[in-house]
Amino acid sequence: MRIVLCCAGGLSTTMLMNSMKDTVHNSAKLNDADFDFIAIPIDILQSEADNCDVLVLGPQVAHKLDAVKPIIEPRKIPYVIVDQETYGKMDGATVMKQALIARRKADLKK
């Protein structure tokens, strides 16, 4: 599963991505080999969308959702908007759970 994390510049989201990687690595149920993560600035989402299974948006770019939807909806890519508290804590476990739930819901709609 490829999880694409977007923020304004891709820097702070890299910290969240690393926390998500640690969550997977330390999990008894999840396997590192099943996940691929990338943190990018939202401005280059179009170039990464074809290889995206779940999109994670940082709270600082949540207001750009209307611009993101035309990119992700035709591809049926589920998304998660991380709330400010979870983002501030760099709580990768919570975001990972949200991403897995979003992907599962999308799969059930197929």
CATH number for the domain harbouring residue 104: 3.40.50.2300
Q: What is the pLDDT of residues 94-109, one digit of tens each?
A: 999 999 999 999 999 8
Q: What is the pLDDT of residues 14-60, one digit of tens each?
A: 999 999 999 999 999 999 999 999 999 999 999 999 999 999 999 99
Q: Write the CB contacts of 3 (distance below 8 Å, at least 6 apart in sequence).
A: 20, 35, 36, 37, 38, 52, 53, 54, 55, 56, 99
Which residues span the domain enclosing 34? 2-109
What's the domain count of the chain? Answer: 1
The whole-number pLDDT of residue 20 equals 98
The whole-number pLDDT of residue 12 equals 81
pTM above threshold 0.85: yes
Active-site residues: which are they?
7
